[in-house]
Structure 1
């Protein structure tokens, strides 16, 4: 499916509880905040719509500014303790009225090294509104992931921090390396990422 029929949904509302006092999305990585890597890569592609779900501006003013400059529609999740599901529900509610949107591409702001080529592979593997296409490192399913419009009612019923994991596990799996799919949850994760230059 062409990206022009897809809404990119950037999830950036987590509480960073495992990272400590600092907001992991604002931690410096190769000259800019962790989240900037993902939001800039996604914004460089020709999606029908760019949507970001973030914490209130008082908690993430820099990210709000960067998203605004890059043309994202900013949705605030003021209950991030609900987990990832609450953010997905907000995003789906936002894109649902637009009948041109054939599905969403879920992207995580704490996955800084996913290249445009992998996002494209996910989108191209999606055939229609029934498609579910997930990323995998050969072991488990994860975002980035495409979920077709037919599954929006299921997404609207999500609860907790598992997100759409059950749905993704039954979808088409696009394999890539763990180095591309790593996410940053702890300071140790960030140190490991800093020591590796993305290919």
Structure 2
């Protein structure tokens, strides 16, 4: 399916509890904030709409600014503790009335190494509104993932932090190579991270 018929949904509202006190998405990676890698890659593609689900502006002002500059429609998830499902539900509610959008591409802001080519492969593998196409590292299904419009009612019923995992596991699997699906959960996951040495 052409990207012009797909809404890209960037999920960036997590509480990052395992990362510690600092905002994970603002942690520096290769000279810019972690979230900037994904949001810029996705924004460089010709999607029907760019949507980002984020925490309120007072707790993520820099991220809001960067998303706004790149043309994202910003949806605030003021209850991130509900898990990833709450963010997906908010995005689907936004997209439902837009009939030209045939499905959504779910992207995670803490997966900085997914190349544009992989997002393209996911979209091209989606045939119609019934399609579900997930990424896999040979072990499990994960985003980036395409979910067709036919499954929107199922997405609206999601609860908790499992997200659409059950749906993705039954979809077409696009295998990746290397560390493409690596996500950043803790400071140790950042390349070059070193523990602070006591003075």
Normalised-by-shorter TM-score class: over 0.9
CA RMSD for the aligned pairs? 1.2
1:17 aligns with 2:17: yes
The runs of 5 or more residues in structure 2 that have no matched partner are 195-199
2-side partners of 1:22 and 1:68: how far apart?
22
1:179 aligned counterpart, secondary structure: coil
* CA deviation after TM superposition for structure 1 residue 130, in Å: 0.1
Helix, strand or coil at the partner of 1:142:
strand
**Alpha-carbon contact 2:187-2:193 (below 8 Å) kept:** no
Normalising by structure 2, report the TM-score.
Answer: 0.96
CA distance in 1, matches of 2:193, 2:156: 33
* Other-structure match for 1:79: 79
Q: Distance in 1 between matches of 2:137 and 2:120?
A: 17
Alignment of 1:137-152 (within 5 A): 137-152=137-152
Q: Do residues 70 (structure 1) and 62 (structure 2) align?
A: no
Within-5 A mapping of 1:33-52: 33-52=33-52
1:95 maps to what in 2? 95
Q: Which runs of 5+ in 1 are unaligned?
A: 195-199
How many residue pairs match? The answer is 194
What are the Cα deviations for residues 71-116 of structure 1, in whole angstroms up to 9, with x where unaligned? Answer: 0000000000000000000000001000000000000000001000
